[in-house]
Amino acid sequence: MERKESIKNYFLYFIAYSIIGWIYEVFLEVVIYRWGFSNRGVLFGPYCPVYGVGALLFLFSAYRLIKDKELKNKLLLLPVIFISCLLIATIVELIASYLCEAFLGSWPWDYSGYKIHFQGRIGLSPSIRFGLGGCAFLYILQPFFEKIVDKIGKWRDYIFYGVFGIFIVDIICTIISHII
């Protein structure tokens, strides 16, 4: 029973961070770069699954190093967490670019305008931002989200099944739209 509950929690974390990633992308596009709005995700809904995948990998690897430790020890591990997040996010983004290209014909970002990049798929500047974002995520957001998920109690199942259903429908609609 505990494993099933844990899977539900991780899925909710995945969705939350996918939505935060989408908001971050849209914020950059609209407010910082002033390019105008476009859906920054590969699905129809307001989420970027690559951020959710990266967040889960942060949780399964780097978060274990700092969870349940005293603040002083967490802060001592900050450089290790930063480098871990930077590397994980960069690898996820590189793999995601190849998967998007294989299945969708392109990937929804281009770092070729950055000074240091690889094929426009990954870049040093975004990787540093993802490393910093990963630290903020692990040190601030994740403990907060864990408290929220604990507090919603029995509603978690309803939220999980509702969001999971919407997510699956979105995936199916996206696949169909690319086939037709």
Give the pLDDT of residue 39: 66
CB neighbourhood size of 81 (10 A): 23
Give the pLDDT of residue 37: 65
Burial track 148-179 (b if 16+ CB lie within 10 A, e otherwise): ebeeeeeebeeebeebeeebeebeeebeeeee
Task: Tell me how many degrees the CA angle 24-29-31 measures, rounded to the nearest 5.
Answer: 85
| Residue 112 vs residues 19, 27, 38, 54, 82: alpha-carbon distances, Å | 26, 20, 20, 22, 24
In degrees rounded to 5, what are phi and psi of residue 111?
-100, 15
Rounded Cα–Cα distance for residues 143 and 49 (Å) = 21
pTM of this structure: 0.83
Q: pLDDT at residue 50 above 90?
A: no
Give the pLDDT of residue 48: 86
pLDDT band at 27 (very low <50, low <70, confident <90, very high): confident
Average pLDDT over residues 134-153: 90
CB neighbourhood size of 74 (10 A): 16
Give the pLDDT of residue 95: 93
**For the segment 54-97, what is each residue's pLDDT rounded down to a tens digit?**
999 999 998 988 988 888 888 899 999 999 999 999 999 999 89
Give the pLDDT of residue 123: 93
Average pLDDT over residues 9-18: 93
Give the pLDDT of residue 38: 65
Give the pLDDT of residue 84: 94
Q: Where are the domains positioned within the chain? A: 53-179
- The H-or-E segment that residue 123 falls in is strand 122-123
pLDDT higher at 131 or 175: 131
Total count of residues recorded for the chain: 180
Rounded Cα–Cα distance for residues 82 and 95 (Å) = 20
Across 25-29, 85-89, 131-135, 136-140, least confident range: 25-29
